[in-house]
Structure 1
Amino acid sequence: MIGSGGEKKIFRIAAHWADHLNIVAALGELPRKMDAVAARCEEAGRDPSTLETSVMLTVVVDEKAKVERPPAETSRRMVTGSPAQIADQVQTKVLDTGIDGVIMNLSAHGHSPGLITTVAEALRPLLTG
């Protein structure tokens, strides 16, 4: 696995040598990043579907969706809301762009028993199609 947002140099290296590319980018940039992945793979003579892709997100579960505003750079790679809202955002902002998977940083803001299970149950339908 290689991780970067570098569309020219690092994506080219990934297209030639990597099994997995973890894309570092704001959610709104993912369609362009996926176009760049496809272009670098084409240049390398590789089928883009053979390069697994992922993105890392920070997830903040807040049933009332009243999350303190995080720093702008962080919030561009963050999904917030109820577990159902998070699942919807992961589907529409990530998976629908062609990204294969998500690496999640689950921000608990203290000890929240059952939080991982709650989020996993909301995301399970995305994995089982």
Structure 2
Amino acid sequence: MQLRIFTEPQQGASYDDLLAVARRAEETGYDAFFRSDHYLAMAGDGLPGPTDAWVTLAGLARETSRIRLGTLMTAATFRLPGPLAISVAQVDAMSGGRVELGIGSGWFEAEHEAYGIPFPELGERFDRYEEQLAVVTGLWATPPGETFDFAGRHYRLTGSPALPKPVQPGGIPVLVGGSGARRTPRLAARYAAEFNVPFMSAEENARLFAGVRSACEEAGRDPSSMVFSSALVLCVGRDDAELARRAAAIGRDVDELREHGVAGSPAEAVDILGRYADAGATRVYLQVLDLADLDHLDLVAAEVAPQLA
């Protein structure tokens, strides 16, 4: 099982905070550094304020060398699909081909209101999301020297040179996720290299993975070509005191974290991750909420990750 670090910078983080976490994750052997794409804190004051996801990843692309970089999830409401395809492909080149694009429909209405971003009703947001997937992947897949056209309800492209191209072999992996029963599995089967389930039980992961496998089969795609992953909050301590300190630092209860996240001792964390592996996950995004606690990353890298090999 691969372990990736996932951060929520809108809760309060500078670029330097994120750089420190990304570098430590790279040094200690994690597979990737991912971040959310949000402009407003869900709780607290969010100081020093939000950082833009793709500006952040562009900087990290030049200041790391091995670790993969991406979003869980870029909001389709934030950016037009053509410029988004350009930005992500540029960061891919800046990183030497280490970028992945997680993209969703957008859901947090308050951040749209706070920064003047249109927030349509859910049906329209999902329609726009589907068209964005078609446009972004279509632009990247257009052969050099050819142009790309798209006539959708919400987006229209005519004679696009479809540049720049991704640099990594096979193109930039796209991640689709969520708990939708119909459209989400179909979109994953059509466009995604990876399907992610955020913050749900191992049993729910297994059920949702099965739905995507069925959608792949219906689309004529081999389900084994899909990566299945989970996202879970992380809170691990060497002893009860350290565990309690880490839970308090993120404003969570230890018992609640044990029930809903990767929490407890290193041995407990291994057992929890084993249940998600049994459900079909081969990759887990560990949500790290206290970005100043780099020892937390060290502990998991040293005492949990080796037991998952």
List alignment gaps of at least 5 residues for structure 1. Answer: none
The Cα shift of 1:78 comes to: 1.2
1:88 aligns with 2:271: yes
Residue number in structure 2 paired with 1:118? 299
Counterpart of 2:235 in structure 1 is: 60
SS of 1:114 mapped into structure 2? helix
Q: Alpha-carbon deviations, 1:19-68, whole Å to 9, x = none?
A: 11112351131121121111111111111110112111101114326555
* Partner secondary structure for residue 6 of structure 1: coil
Report the 3-state secondary structure (helix = DSSP H, G, I; strand = E; otherwise coil) of the residue aligned with 2:196: strand
Deviates more, 1:78-87 or 1:61-70: 61-70
- Structure 2 unaligned segments of length 5 or more: list them: 1-174
Contact 2:233–2:261 (CA under 8 A) maintained in structure 1: yes
Query: TM-score w.r.t. structure 2 length?
Result: 0.36
Q: Residue 42 of structure 1 corresponds to which residue in structure 2?
A: 217
Q: CA deviation at 1:79?
A: 2.1
The alpha-carbon deviation at position 89 of structure 1 amounts to 0.5
Aligned residue-pair number: 123
**Which amino acid counterpart does residue 84 of structure 1 have in structure 2?**
A
Q: 1:101 to 1:41 in 2, by over 3 A?
A: same
2: CA distance, partners of 1:114 / 1:105: 15
Task: Give the percent of matched residue pairs that are identical in Structure 1 and Structure 2.
Answer: 28
User: Which is greater in Rg?
Assistant: 2
Q: In structure 2, do the counterparts of structure 1 residues 75 and 84 end up closer, same or farther at CA, with 3 Å as the change threshold? A: closer
Q: Is the 8 A contact 2:262 2:272 kept in 1?
A: yes
Distance 1:29 1:52, change over 3 A: same
Rounded to whole Å, the distance in 1 between the matches of 2:220 and 2:259 is: 32
CA distance in 2, matches of 1:77, 1:42: 31
CA RMSD of aligned residues (A): 2.4
Q: What is the TM-score of this pair, normalised by structure 1?
A: 0.80
Cα distance in 2 for partners of 1:75, 1:5 equals 22
Match status 1:99 vs 2:273: no
